[in-house]
Amino acid sequence: MDHVISGVARFQNEVYPAKREAFAKLANGQNPEVLFITCADSRIDPNLVTQTEPGELFICRNAGNIVPPHSNETGGMTASIEFAVAALGITDIVVCGHTDCGAMKGAIAPEQLDNLPHVKEWLGHCRSATEVVRHRHGELCKDHLDEVTCENVLQQIQHLRTHPAVAVGLASGNLTIHGWVYNIASGEVLYHNEKTGAFEPMDEAYRLRLLRQADEANQA
């Protein structure tokens, strides 16, 4: 804990003074463009991976980067998604999974979670992902971890589409959803290519395509 407290002191004495003007603007409100939904895993740092500054990402984190389907029962994810899209005017949503995900390991072998009942119930939101992968192979085991991780991102995107604010944003063309998977060991980020159906490495072509889509949206 000492290094955490020391970090606060360094922030206050070194980092904050260098960015005082930016923080002064943020003190009066936020205007992020991206809702970034990712895992609570301590190895994931959305701002570090995306090289973004405070105020640029509206971040939601939980075990397994899960988005429960919309229901009349209010939850933290439901409220956060609604606020980000309907109140903040988010234009892009990223659902980002990652390699070596403990939540996905639990989803593959839920029988090992009997002593963690709340975790086991939460990971029930991943069942569609595990069942899709099981159907492909006729079985499900730890060797399918990466495939389940990718499929879970896609299934959570499907859940995301059930949220009214998101549905409105998609229908109006004001909102775009992206599926990513971050490789902790290599630093590589894969994105879901809707045309090929595969997760592919981010490259310059991907960046340019996003810029073109943004320009088209601004001109519409």
Which residue positions form the known binding site? 39, 41, 98, 101
Helix ranges, the chain (H)? 2-10, 16-18, 20-26, 46-50, 76-82, 102-108, 117-122, 127-137, 145-160, 164-172, 204-219
Known binding positions for Zn(2+):
39, 41, 98, 101
Contacts of 143 (CB under 8 A, 6+ apart): none
Instruction: Tell me the DSSP string of 90-129.
Output: --EEEEEEETT-HHHHHHH-GGGGTT-HHHHHHGGGGHHH
Burial 199-218 (b: 16+ CB within 10 A, else e): beeeeeeeeeeeeeeeeeee
